[in-house]
Homo-oligomer: A and B are copies of this chain.
Amino acid sequence: MSRAPTRTPDPGWTDPECPVARALDLVGDRWSLLVVRDAMDGARSFTEFQRRTGIARNILSDRLRKLTAHGLLAQRAAPSGRRQEYVLTEAGHDLFPVVLALRQWGERHAFAPGEAHSTLVDRHGAPVPEFAPTGSDGTPLDAGTTRVRKIR
């Protein structure tokens, strides 16, 4: 069975022409991005996801099923054993910028000054630098310097 790309996965998007809204229809709940976060950090099995997130088992079951159905996770046989495991697809892996942006926003705005939190480091242990959008000329972009162009 060929994996058809995306053939209207749901009967109706919240806002069909906005990519932000479509993305949120797929991962815009309390748990999906935490599952993706843990998958990026090495979680593979149902129990491991459950242990890391603390999510209720029936909800985890539902989220794993939905993320799989939407093509963010794939189920495959574990290499060293007969059990199944969940791995990120390319689309799931590609959520890295979203998770990183959320992480850095959280570090800046959801912790009291000096309050301890986990951080993201590169393979040498150095902190990941600030992740900020820039225009083609290198100037920083924000909501004031951009606008949404609606479809024609």
Contact = CB atoms under 8 A, between A and B. Distances in A.
A128 interface: yes
A74 interface: no
B129 A136 contact: yes
B98 A143 contact: no
Q: Which of A14, A71, A95, A100 has the most CB of B within 10 A?
A: A100
Number of copies: 2
A58 interface: no
Given A109-B91, A112-B6, A20 B37 contact: yes
A37 B20 CA distance: 8
A119 to B, nearest CB: 5
A14 B33 CA distance: 13
